[in-house]
C-alpha cells in the first residue's frame, strides 16, 4: 500500500511534545515514527511555510512532496514505504533559527527519519547543522547559499563540533561566493553600473553575498560608494534611502530576502524618486517579492543559483508533473532543487537497502552514501557533492521583473 502524510505542527504543541520526548501518531505533528510492525522510512522537510516566507518555500516543499510520491511509485527494497513529515520553522511569520534547531531535534527523536530536506534559509541552517551533525543526520538544502555552511575557512568547521570531520550538510544550490561574483560581473558588464551602493539585511545569507559582491565589483573597476546593514526587524528605510539618494548611485545592490525588507526597500526607493537600478541575489528571485512589491517590483534584477528550467530537457517531465499536481500554484525558485535534493536522499537510501537485503540503513550510512553518490536524472541535471557538501555543477541565471513576472536574461555554469 502506498501512502504519504504531509504534516505541519503548531509551534507550542511541538515544543511541549519535544520536551517530553513523546512519540505520537496524532495527525498534526510531523516527527513520529512508523510504529511497531510498519515498514516506513521517513524523510523530514523543514521550511518556513507560514507568513511572508511561505511564498518562496511552500512551492519548494511541494516539490519535495512530489519527489516522495514519485519515489514511492518506484518502491523501496523490502516493501518499505517512504513518508514525508514536514515542520515549519517560521515564528511570527518569519524563518527562525531557534525553531529550525528545535525541528531538527524533533526529527532526530524519530528513528525512522533518515534524512531531512531543507532548510530554506542560511541562518536557520547554521542553527541546525550542529544538531544534525551530532546525530549523523543528513540535511540537504535546496536554497541555503551561505559560504559559511560548507567552507571551513568561513566557519563551517565550528558548526561541526561534535564530529568535525563529518559533513552531514549538503546543498543542491550554488553557494554565495560564486553567485556574488556573478552578480558583480553582471552589474558591471551587463548593466553598465560603475557606482554602487550596497545594502544587506545583516543575516548569514545577506552578509555573505555582499561580502563577495563588494570586492568582486571593485576588482572589475567599479566603485562601492558605501555599504549599509539593516537593524534587526527594520522595515522602514526612508532615512537610509534619503542618504543613499544623495550619493547618486547607478545601482543599489540589495543583499537579503523579502521577509527582511527587500520588497519594502524597493517600494520606498520609488516613493522617494530614487531611480537607480535595483538588483539583488536569489533572495529577490521569489514569488513573494512580486506579491509584496506589486508594480514597484518591475525593473528589478535578480540572480538565481539554479538553471532556467525551460531550457533544460531534464526538467520537462518535472515541470509538467508539478503543474498537474499543484494546479494554479506557481513553481518556486528552488522547487526543482528541492525535488533533486529529495531524489538524492532517497536514491542513497535505496542503494544501501539494495545492497543490504532490504534492511534500512543507519543515518551515518546515509550520510556516507549521499557524499559519494551521483543522482543522474534530476530536473537540474546530474547531482553530486564535493567533500564539503557543495553541488559540483553550480549554475547561475539572471532575471528581470517585467509586467509582474520574472523574465529570463542569461545563465552560465561555473566551476566549484
Verify that 216 and 71 share a domain, yes or no: no
Verify that 144 and 183 share a domain, yes or no: no
Contacts of 13-18 with C-beta under 8 Å, sequence gap 24+, read 14/87, 14/102, 14/103, 14/106, 15/102, 17/106, 18/102, 18/105, 18/106, 18/109
**Statement: residue 303 has pLDDT above 50:** yes
Verify that 96 and 183 share a domain, yes or no: no
Tally of domains in the chain: 2
Has this prediction a pTM greater than 0.85? no
Note the pLDDT of residue 233.
Answer: 78
Average pLDDT in the chain: 90
Note the pLDDT of residue 160.
Answer: 94
Verify that 125 and 106 share a domain, yes or no: yes
Note the pLDDT of residue 162.
Answer: 87
Verify that 322 and 297 share a domain, yes or no: no
- For cell 525541528, the residue is 103
The more confidently predicted of residues 384 and 38 is 384
Contacts of 24-32 with C-beta under 8 Å, sequence gap 24+, read 30/6, 30/85, 30/86, 30/87, 30/106, 31/85, 31/87, 31/106, 31/107, 31/109, 31/110, 31/113, 32/85, 32/110
**Statement: residue 2 has pLDDT above 70:** no
DSSP conformation letters of 324-378: HHSTTPPPPTTHHHHHHHHHHHHHHHHHHHHTTTTPPPPHHHHHHHHHH-EE---
pLDDT band, very low/low/confident/very high, at 37 (cuts 50, 70, 90)? low
Q: Under a CB-based contact definition with an 8 Å cutoff, are residues 142 and 117 in contact?
A: yes
pLDDT band, very low/low/confident/very high, at 18 (cuts 50, 70, 90)? very low
Question: What CATH number is attached to the domain comprising 61?
Answer: 3.40.50.2300
N-term to C-term CA, the chain: 42
Q: Under a CB-based contact definition with an 8 Å cutoff, are residues 103 and 46 in contact?
A: yes
Q: Compute the distance between CA of residue 299 and CA of residue 296 in angstroms, rounded to an integer.
A: 8
Verify that 19 and 152 share a domain, yes or no: yes
Verify that 28 and 93 share a domain, yes or no: yes
Q: Under a CB-based contact definition with an 8 Å cutoff, are residues 345 and 115 in contact?
A: yes
Residue 231 placed within a domain: yes
**How many Cα atoms are found within 13 Å in the side-chain-facing hemisphere of 129?**
30
Mean per-residue pLDDT, 13-39: 38
Among candidate residues 266, 258, 253, 276, the one with its CA nearest the CA of residue 186: 253
Mean per-residue pLDDT, 122-132: 97
Residue 3 placed within a domain: no
Mean per-residue pLDDT, 209-238: 94
The more confidently predicted of residues 240 and 416 is 240
Verify that 81 and 166 share a domain, yes or no: yes
The domain of 407 spans 176-304+396-413
Verify that 262 and 184 share a domain, yes or no: yes
**Statement: residue 327 has pLDDT above 80:** yes
Note the pLDDT of residue 415.
Answer: 62
3-state percent helix, strand, coil for the chain, nearest multiple of 5: 45, 20, 35
**pLDDT per position as a tens digit, 262-275:** 999 999 999 999 99
Verify that 270 and 405 share a domain, yes or no: yes
**Statement: residue 14 has pLDDT above 50:** no
Note the pLDDT of residue 34.
Answer: 47
- For cell 503548531, the residue is 10
Q: Compute the distance between CA of residue 186 and CA of residue 258 in angstroms, rounded to an integer.
A: 21
Q: Under a CB-based contact definition with an 8 Å cutoff, are residues 140 and 171 in contact?
A: yes
**Statement: residue 30 has pLDDT above 70:** no
Verify that 323 and 408 share a domain, yes or no: no
Amino acid at each position: 500500500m502506498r501512502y504519504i502524510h504531509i504534516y505541519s505542527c503548531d509551534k507550542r504543541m511541538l515544543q511541549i511534545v519535544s520536551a517530553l520526548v513523546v512519540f505520537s501518531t496524532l495527525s498534526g505533528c510531523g516527527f513520529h515514527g512508523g510504529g511497531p510492525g510498519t515498514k516506513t522510512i521517513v524523510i523530514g522537510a523543514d521550511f518556513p511555510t507560514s507568513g511572508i516566507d511561505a511564498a518562496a518555500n511552500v512551492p519548494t516543499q511541494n516539490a519535495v512532496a512530489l519527489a516522495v510520491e514519485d519515489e514511492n511509485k518506484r518502491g523501496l527494497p523490502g516493501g518499505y514505504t517512504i513518508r514525508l513529515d514536514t515542520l515549519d520553522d517560521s515564528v511570527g511569520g518569519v524563518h527562525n533559527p531557534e525553531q529550525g534547531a528545535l525541528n531538527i531535534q524533533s526529527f532526530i527523536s524519530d528513528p525512522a527519519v533518515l534524512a531531512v530536506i531543507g532548510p530554506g534559509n542560511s541562518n536557520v541552517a547554521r542553527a541546525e547543522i550542529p544538531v544534525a551533525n551530532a546525530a549523523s543526520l543528513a540535511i540537504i538544502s535546496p536554497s541555503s547559499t551561505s559560504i559559511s555552511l560548507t567552507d571551513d575557512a568561513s566557519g563551517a568547521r565550528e558548526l561541526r563540533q561534535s564530529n568535525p570531520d563529518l559533513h552531514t550538510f549538503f546543498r543542491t544550490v550554488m553557494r554565495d561566493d560564486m553567485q556574488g561574483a556573478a552578480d558583480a560581473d553582471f552589474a558591471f558588464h551587463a548593466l553598465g553600473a560603475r557606482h554602487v551602493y550596497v545594502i544587506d539585511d545583516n543575516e548569514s545569507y545577506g552578509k555573505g553575498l555582499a561580502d563577495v559582491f563588494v570586492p568582486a565589483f571593485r576588482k572589475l573597476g567599479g566603485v562601492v560608494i558605501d555599504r549599509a546593514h539593516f537593524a534587526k526587524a527594520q522595515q522602514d528605510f526612508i532615512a537610509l534611502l534619503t542618504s543613499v539618494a544623495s550619493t547618486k548611485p547607478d545601482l543599489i545592490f540589495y543583499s537579503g530576502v523579502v521577509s527582511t525588507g527587500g520588497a519594502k526597500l524597493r517600494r520606498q526607493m520609488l516613493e522617494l524618486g530614487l531611480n537607480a537600478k535595483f538588483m539583488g541575489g536569489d533572495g529577490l528571485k521569489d514569488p513573494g517579492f512580486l506579491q509584496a512589491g506589486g508594480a514597484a517590483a518591475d525593473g528589478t534584477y535578480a540572480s538565481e543559483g539554479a538553471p532556467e528550467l525551460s531550457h533544460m530537457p531534464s526538467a520537462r517531465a518535472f515541470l509538467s508533473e508539478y503543474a498537474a499536481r499543484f494546479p494554479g500554484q506557481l513553481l518556486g525558485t528552488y522547487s526543482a532543487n528541492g525535488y533533486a535534493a529529495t531524489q538524492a536522499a532517497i536514491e542513497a537510501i535505496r542503494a544501501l537497502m539494495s545492497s543490504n537485503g532490504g534492511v534500512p540503513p543507519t543515518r551515518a550510512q546515509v550520510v556516507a552514501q549521499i557524499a559519494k553518490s551521483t543522482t543522474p536524472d534530476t530536473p537540474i541535471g546530474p547531482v553530486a557533492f564535493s567533500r564539503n557538501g557543495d553541488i559540483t555543477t553550480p549554475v547561475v541565471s539572471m532575471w528581470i521583473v517585467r509586467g509582474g513576472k520574472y523574465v529570463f536574461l542569461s545563465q552560465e555554469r561555473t566551476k566549484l
